[in-house]
Amino acid sequence: MFDFVQQIIAYSQDKPLLFTQLFFWGFFLLLLIGYSIVYKRNNLKVIYLLLFSLFFYFKTSGVFILLLLFTICSDFLIARQIHNSKGIASKKFFLTLSVLINLTLLSYFKYAYFFVDSFNTITNHHLQFVNHFALFSNTFFSSHFSVDKLLLPVGVSFFTFQSLSYTIDIYRQKVNPVKSITDYGFFVSFFPHLVAGPIVKAHDFIDQIYQPYRLSRVEFGMALFWILNGFIKKIVADYLAVNFIDRVFDNPNYYSGLETTFGIFAYSLQIYMDFSGYTDMAIGLALILGYRLKTNFNSPYKATSTSEFWKRWHISLSSWLQEYLYIPLGGNRQGSIGSYIAILILCVFLVLLAGKLWLLYFLLALVALLIGLALVFKKIRAAINTNINLMVTMLLGGLWHGSSWLFIIWGGLNGLGLIIHKLWLKISPFKNTQNLFIKMVLMLITLTFISFTRIFFRSDSMQIVSNIFDRLSNHFAMNLFFKVLQSYPYILSLMAFGYLIHWIPEKYKLKYRNWFAHQPYWMIGLIAILVIFTMYQLMSGEMQPFIYFQF
């Protein structure tokens, strides 16, 4: 009995707690039983959910719960100082302190090993990196992490950005300070959105903490719809990954150009279903508990331009970057000091990635050339001023995903796509077109561009990227089309079905969502059983962790 309880309570690095596991639903059922007792008493409700959220994160990330607790305590105290400070200089000091602490911790866990390795490459030194968190975890939690590699805490980017939004919103006087540290801890650690979003900004959520519990009959049905919808997406995404996508990207030389093309578009479908599936389930779980999270995906592959795509994809991150990075840097009006500091940071990363000091001199010369051209030519100066922050934001977005040339290139290509679309709008004959055929063509062009930039996002190395482009350019044979269809009937059928469901007009999606939400409980239960039974037939082995857990 003791061993069974210990197994439930203990952290296992090989089995992070996922929404798709039976253990999680046992955890959630236990939470609901207690929640039915405390939900009318607000303070008790918040403490109760905070404790369950901390346990959820411990089961997901182990020792890194200490990092989460530090972030909660640090920003709670700093935000109070910002609010209580009388002078603007004092407020700016504490805000800067919060930004530095959060970004330093985030940078350490995402880039410390990369910095040490790059430093050794450039200077021929042999500094040894020691992961003290891994050492601590191995000692006290019986884990077996490698102490010479850096382990990224699950969801660190998400709860860091969320906590930063609070101190910035307090500084901007967009929200009032929370009443207690338990309220703040709940805001940061609320388990549905804790490890992979959606990123919840303070001014969108804080007020909900103090509202009485409410959940209508239809909202309950809608919550169950989103949970089932997300579950279906995750199962199908894993099936596509295990049976096709991973094989193509791991060994592209074994596949024809046509198969590789299908693999690229399948990956676009997979990453959408995996990520949006998680946030669908998060939205549904939060709604059952009485909290409303904002939509994080709005049928992004319906976008007819790159600009529209980024308004539909990972909306919580895009809006966060726009509100707390892009606009403060100057938006599309002009570059600012912050813009050029960001460029300097990016240059440093590029030099470290290359491991070549000469690249620093080349980048400095390039910057000097652009500044000179901008001073002489007004059009060039205007182009730089209106586009610099867009490109900086997308490059930093790429860097946010990881310290790799592949992510930098991916971010740069998307930034370039956004800039080209801005220029195209000035001469486009299709601006605001309602012609269905033209919109479909633009939609397919946008999907193709986004999918092909993801070659860099998904690949493990530049060699894999090179092999993929080689297959596309030199081994693309349309005469194999029907043979490929016969070879992958289930994969291609799921792909076609997934994209067709995605492209259904929103008014029809609203109809079947509302139909489900208005059904009697017995009908909802029957549908849920059929969905779960059917989806488990697609499972092959252990469920894969959600893709964005690694960010």
Average pLDDT over residues 120-125: 71
Place of tokens 């037939």: 537
Q: Domain boundary residue among 213, 246, 264? A: 213
Residue 376: inside a domain, yes or no? yes
- End-to-end alpha-carbon separation of the chain, Å? 37
Residue 1: inside a domain, yes or no? no
Q: What is the pLDDT of residue 143?
A: 65
Q: How many residues can be counted in the chain?
A: 551
Q: What is the pLDDT of residue 404?
A: 75
Residue 402 sits in the same domain as residue 470: no
C-alpha distances in Å from residue 45, one per residue of 180, 206, 211:
14, 15, 11
Residue 30 sits in the same domain as residue 126: yes
Q: What is the pLDDT of residue 330?
A: 64
Residue 44 sits in the same domain as residue 184: yes
Residue 62 sits in the same domain as residue 110: yes
Residue 377 sits in the same domain as residue 477: no
Band of pLDDT at residue 148, cut at 50, 70 and 90: low
Residue 230 sits in the same domain as residue 270: yes
User: Which residues, at least 6 apart from 274, have a Cβ–Cβ distance to it below 8 Å?
Assistant: 233, 234, 237, 238, 241, 546, 547, 548
Residue 417: inside a domain, yes or no? yes
Residue 69 sits in the same domain as residue 156: yes
Residue 312: inside a domain, yes or no? no
Give dist(CA 429, CA 427) in Å, integer: 6
134-143, 250-259, 386-395, 430-439: which is most confident: 250-259
Q: What is the pLDDT of residue 328?
A: 74
Cβ-contact 187, 166 below 8 angstroms: yes
Residue 140 sits in the same domain as residue 51: yes
pTM: 0.86
For every residue of 355-395, DSSP letters joined together read T-THHHHHHHHHHHHHHHHHHH-HHHHHHHHHHHHHHHHHH
Query: What's the total number of domains in the chain?
Result: 3
Residue 139 sits in the same domain as residue 29: yes
Percent of the chain topping pLDDT 70: 83
Residue 398 sits in the same domain as residue 536: no
pLDDT tens for residues 451-494?
Answer: 999 999 988 888 898 899 888 887 777 777 788 888 888 899 99
Q: Domain boundary residue among 145, 180, 213? A: 213
* Domain hosting residue 223, numbered range: 215-301+459-551
Residue 322: inside a domain, yes or no? no
Q: What is the pLDDT of residue 256?
A: 87
Q: What is the pLDDT of residue 402?
A: 75
At residue 460's C-alpha, the angle toward residues 459 and 464, to 5°, is 65
pLDDT tens for residues 88-109?
Answer: 999 999 999 998 999 888 888 7
Give dist(CA 398, CA 457) in Å, integer: 9
Give dist(CA 32, CA 25) in Å, integer: 10
Cβ-contact 269, 320 below 8 angstroms: no
Give dist(CA 508, CA 299) in Å, integer: 13
Residue 243 sits in the same domain as residue 208: no
